[in-house]
Structure 1
Amino acid sequence: MRASASNAQDLGMPAIYLHLLAELLHTIGVDERDLLLRVGLDPLRLNSTDLRVSQSQASEFVTRAIIESGEPGLGIMLARELKMPLHGALGTAVMSSRTLEEALELMTRYLTLRAPHLHVTKRRGGSNAWYTVACDMDLGPLQGFIMDAMLFGCIFMGAQLTGAIVEGSRVLRRGPEPAYFHRFRQLMPVPVEYGATEDALVIPVSQLDLPIRFSDEQLAATSRSQCEEALRQLTEDAGFACRVRRVIETSHPFPPKLARVAATLFVSERTLKRRLQEEEASFQALVDRVRLERAGELLTNTGMNLSQIADALGYADAANFTRAFKRWTGTSPSQYRNHTRRPQGIAAKSMLTATV
């Protein structure tokens, strides 16, 4: 029995996918910025392969995107735009693999990093290999979107990896063919069969030895280690405090009110506070930690003055921001900025590891 989205572990969705979807909405005439803001997401924070968006916000954004665009095939449209570098360390590991089979094995092992709640199982039968994709929970409207993006995305990305569509491959989909699919069928480079008993990629065993164009043994080893570490970290960060932090990190306006975060996570304010206390955390401490990290990024990577940074971080003025930053790090924002622009910048950046 599959869990529901309300009581299953929320590992979040990579923000970069929502950024890419927002760009797609713009091309078909939808005001993507307005839509993101209504969901409470900061458009400027989504262009990242590292940040993750809470499952509830991702689901709300996708659902609204489908309704307001009138396009139920957005998952297929997204699949055609997916490029390997968008998938972070997993994308790098896959690109640097030796063969298609090796790339698919990496996808099978580390898929949780990019598509939580989906898992892949492999089996061989006769001359074909089946890579079956299943979901361990009910994602509601998000599920069809994710399955479209995942399965069809693999076909397009396989061509990126090998230089051509993998000959003899096909896609199996459960259930009847959706009404919208006929508009996309001619764009599919491989057969798509609905009415199957599983969602799967079927690939001839003879094609699994196809070489990857970007193979790099040293890069492969490094990126796989990064995937292992990322998977470990994601598993460890499955607590409630991490869920709260994800909402804070991508929220607009910033900083978000406690009531807004509680509503996003479908809990009461009292429950949110209690669950954070159980993990020896507090809402304000999480907000301050995100503020400190954002402050470091803005001071290091932009030419924004202190008043602009203070406004971006939700402070009334530069003086309040300066006092808070000095309390956190022991130095002023201006001193921190000067240090990060000199050779000793590494030492200055270590200030951000101070406990808020």
Structure 2
Amino acid sequence: MRASASQAQDLGLPAIYLHLLAELLHNLNVDEHALLLRVGLDPSRLQSTELRVSQSQASEFVTRAIIESGEPGLGIMLAREMKLPLHGALGIAVMSSENLGEALDLVSRYLTLRAPHIRVHQHREGDRVVFRLVCDIDLGPLQGFILDAMLFGCITMGNQLLGSPVRDAEIRRVGAEPGYFQRFRQQIPVPVRYESREDAFVFPAAILDAPIQFSDEALAASSRAECEESLRQLTEDAGFGCRVRRVIETSHPFPPKLAQVANTLFVSERTLKRRLQEEERSFQHLVDDVRLERAGELLENTSMNLSQIADALGYADAANFTRAFKRWTGVSPSQFRNERREAAAQSNQPQASATA
């Protein structure tokens, strides 16, 4: 019997996927901005391939998105929008692989980075290779959406990597064909077989040796190393404090109240405090860590004045923000901004030609 999502580790879902889903909702005349805010997510924080959204918030957003759009096929629609660079280091590693087989091996190994609790099992079936997707836990409403996005997305990925549709491929789905699928059938270049014993995508074995059009040996090596490090960090940073921080990082309004975060994680405020204490952390310190990161980003990458930054970070005024920033870093926000701009200007200056 599989564990429920509430009983399993919450490794989060990449924020960029919810950003893409929000764009789809906009095209379907759904107020995606208002929907994100109702779920407690900050729309401006979702355009990152690195930030992750808590599983509970992702599930709530997907469920509301399907209801408000009236489109149960959002997972298939999202699959069409999945450009490989949006998958972060894994997408780059896949793109720079030598051949399709190597690319699919990388997907199997590092899938946890993009879709936690989904595993890939490969087996031969005559002259074809079956990539079966297995979910470790019951993801509830999120599960069908994720499986649609992943299975149909793998066909899209194959097209991107090879420059043409993968011939003789197919998709298998457990269960009866849903009514909404008829509207998508003509857009999918491979057979889709429902009532199967497994959720899987199937490629002919011979195509696995096909070269990738973006192959780059050096980039492949560096991006694989990045995937390995990201996987290590994700699995090591699976404590409760990381789950709390993940909610803080993407919350609206910011900073979130302790009660808001506790509700998102389905625990009481008392339990949240106790579990953080067990890890020698505190809610306020986590909020301040995220504030410091955001402050640095806004000072370095925007022209917002100190009052605007203070407001974005939840401070009453610029003076309070300045005092806090100086306490964290030892320098004022203005000094930090000037130093970063001077360093950037120097690094962009052309090197003087060497003279004989």
Per the normalisation by structure 1, the TM-score is 0.96
- Which residue is equivalent to 1:193? 193
How far is the alpha carbon of 1:345 from its aligned partner?
9.2
| Alignment correspondent of 2:131 | 131
Whether 1:222 and 2:222 are equivalent positions in the alignment is yes
Deviation at 1:125, TM superposition (A): 2.1
Contact 1:307–1:318 (CA under 8 A) maintained in structure 2:
yes
Tell me the residue number matched to 1:154: 154
Separation in 1, partners of 2:120, 2:237: 22
Residues 162-220 of structure 1 show CA distances to partners (whole Å, capped at 9, x for unaligned) of 01111110000001001111111111100000000000111111111111000000000
Q: How does 1:68-147 map to 2 (within 5 A)?
A: 68-147=68-147
Query: In the alignment, residue 155 of structure 1 is paired with which amino acid?
Result: I
Per the TM alignment, residue 342 of structure 1 is displaced from its structure 2 partner at its CA by 1.4
Q: Per the alignment, in what secondary structure is the counterpart of residue 131 of structure 1? A: strand
Structure 2 counterpart of 1:352: none
Contact in 2 for aligned 1:79/1:150 (Cα 8 Å): yes
- Counterpart position of 2:204: 204
- 1:349 alignment counterpart: none
Q: Do 1:339 and 1:345's aligned partners in 2 also have CA atoms closer than 8 Å?
A: no
Q: Which residue of 1 aligns with 2:352?
A: none
- In structure 1, the residue matched to 2:51 is 51
1:268 matched to which residue of 2?
A: 268
* Alignment match, 1:62: 62
Equivalent residue number for residue 322 of structure 1: 322
Query: Cα 1:269–1:345, aligned 2, differ >3 Å: closer, same or farther?
Result: farther
Determine the C-alpha separation between the residues in 2 that align with 1:126 and 1:254.
Answer: 55
> For each residue in 1:240-279, what CA deviation from the matched residue of structure 2 results, as whole angstroms up to 9, or x when unmatched?
0000000000000000000000000000000000000000
Give the conservation status (yes or no) of the 8 Å contact 1:95–1:161: yes
Q: How far apart are the structure 1 equivalents of 2:238 and 2:175? A: 32
Letter of the structure 2 residue corresponding to residue 231 of structure 1? L
Distance 1:165 1:195 in 2: 24
From the superposition, tell whether residues 192 and 344 of structure 1 become closer, same or farther in structure 2 (CA, over 3 Å): closer
Paired amino acid for 1:302:
T
The alpha carbon displacement at 1:106 in A equals: 0.2
Unmatched tracts of structure 2, length 5 or more: 347-356
SS of the residue corresponding to residue 102 of structure 1 reads helix
Quote the residue 1:288 is aligned against. 288
Letter in 2 for 1:48: S
* Superposed structure 1 runs of 4+ greater than 2 Å apart: 343-346
Measure, in 2, the Cα distance between the counterparts of 1:137 and 1:125.
Answer: 27
Matched, 1:172 2:146: no
Q: Is the 8 A contact 1:57 1:264 kept in 2?
A: yes
Measured on the aligned residues, the alpha-carbon RMSD in Å equals 1.0
Equivalent residues of 1:123, 1:131 under 8 A apart: yes
Distance across 1 between alignment mates of 2:126 and 2:248: 50
| Cα distance between partner residues in 2 of 1:86 and 1:345 | 29
Provide the aligned length of Structure 1 versus Structure 2. 346
What amino acid maps onto 1:317 in structure 2? D
Residue 332 of structure 1 aligns with which residue? 332
In the alignment, the residues of structure 2 paired with residue 288 and residue 345 of structure 1 have an alpha-carbon distance, to the nearest angstrom, of 29
